[in-house]
Amino acid sequence: MAEWVFRRQVADAGLDGEVVVDSSGTEGWHRGKPADERTDATLAKFGYGSGHAARPFDARWFPAYDLVIALDQDHWRELRRRAPDDASREKVRLLREFDPDADGDLDVPDPYYDGIEAFEHVLSLIEAASADLLDEVRRGLAAR
């Protein structure tokens, strides 16, 4: 979901030619499989595109990315563990760091074992963080 929400933010800001948005997991359990149908249904309900084939994050990608966004602290720790150096570790951030209303709760919960309402809640958390994440990306572009 985060990929598609942020793709829209980037496109609406006119930055889709300058910013690449991509997603992957920390493990390869669902490699090649599409997103959960509830993810796609939630995205469609709220007017977002979708389309996904699961794949694990490859640490060799660190040099190509300015930011690597994790949705929860377990993934944040795992991505930082895989980082080849300090500069790469600093690229790993939690999405909800960019949510001004996060109030210390920085994890986006996994809705997989819950109903559609949980997927809609996750979407709202992602949307809440996306505007400030876009501001961070803009600052990075301006610093180049």
110 is an active site residue:
yes
From the list 12, 66, 110, 114, the catalytic residue is 110
Cα 116 to Cα 26, 61, 72, 122: the distances in Å are 24, 33, 20, 10
Return the structure tokens found at 78: 């795992």
Dump the DSSP string for 37-106: HHHHHHHHHTT--------B--GGGGGG-S-EEESSHHHHHHHHHH-SSHHHHHHEEEGGGG-TT-TT--
Return the structure tokens found at 144: 């180049």
Cα 93 to Cα 25, 29, 44, 68, 126: the distances in Å are 15, 23, 27, 6, 14
Residue keyed to tokens 């600093």: 90
Q: What residues are labeled active site? A: 110
